[in-house]
Structure 1
């Protein structure tokens, strides 16, 4: 099954159809394929690709995947029987042009624009990967840490103002998605 609505592709593959909450915003140009679940008030911005034909991708409530980002996963392999699904918690900010591949982003994580997060990497709650960074396979950013660079390394702990700024960003995107949804319907 392929469904086009305002230049959006929602494609069933290998018997798996994307599940998208009715309050989520999916912008024109998006391609959502296979075993994908998108939660309430999440927003997937213009020209994102979310492809889950070999494992699953989960995007939690109020999380946003900004323009041009790509999300994929990895299937089972020797030594990794469950493969690498991509699991994104609630209230997560994912900047423009980000690549997420087989990673876990806990609730309230932040991924800066043009960053890459690889298989088995984890970004914990209230933690931030800076713009342009590459979090290599299996690395873990702990709660309230900022990592930057390529490969990414610990820079400093985040203060309360930085954490509050991330939370305000989530609220902004939930509100902004409603305005865009009204404009494109």
Structure 2
């Protein structure tokens, strides 16, 4: 089972990464005080930070996109979800399957975002349910990054 790692990306500690996932340029995945589990076909884009702490492990599902510069800390992210650029997800948050968290959103500690939701703002608020087209777009975006990872990054 292989994943893909870009130059300058850091993966340290108790970290499991699923098949065909990509950790992009200068992203940091640091499981130093608890476990990080990343599913298959998930992409962690440039300068994103994935970390744990305060007794909170980090679990990210399959077919997830973590946008550039996002901070995802000690939470759960469901399958086929997109975390927008610069979003911050705090300890104990639970984000369901088939969600979009908008760019720059702040998902506060222990907040729950139900399956199929669009949420954005600071603090994040649930705006509406995703359309079928948006759910398919999340999946297509994840698959696009699998292809890009195979072309650009080193397999591990």
Within 5 Å, which residues of 2 pair with 1:54-73? 54-73=33-52
CA distance in 1, matches of 2:98, 2:147: 21
> How much does 1:181 deviate?
2.5
> How much does 1:32 deviate?
1.0
Matched residues, number: 155
In structure 2, which of residues 13, 19, 29 is the aligned counterpart of residue 40 of structure 1? 19
CA distance in 2, matches of 1:89, 1:165: 16
The corresponding residue for 1:84 is 56
User: SS where residue 7 of structure 2 aligns?
Assistant: coil
> Which consecutive unaligned segments of at least 5 residues does structure 1 have?
1-20, 76-82
The corresponding residue for 1:13 is none
Q: Deviations over 1:5-50 (max 9, x none)?
A: xxxxxxxxxxxxxxxx4x2110000111110111100000000111
> Which consecutive unaligned segments of at least 5 residues does structure 2 have?
none
Which of structures 1 and 2 has the bigger CA Rg? 1
CA distance in 1, matches of 2:81, 2:94: 10
Within 5 Å, which residues of 2 pair with 1:14-163? 21=1, 23-75=2-54, 83-163=55-135
> How much does 1:156 deviate?
1.1
> How much does 1:164 deviate?
0.8
Runs of 4+ in 1 over 3 A off after TM superposition: none
Q: Deviations over 1:75-113 (max 9, x none)?
A: 4xxxxxxx1001001111111100010010011121001
User: SS where residue 32 of structure 1 aligns?
Assistant: strand
> How much does 1:72 deviate?
0.5
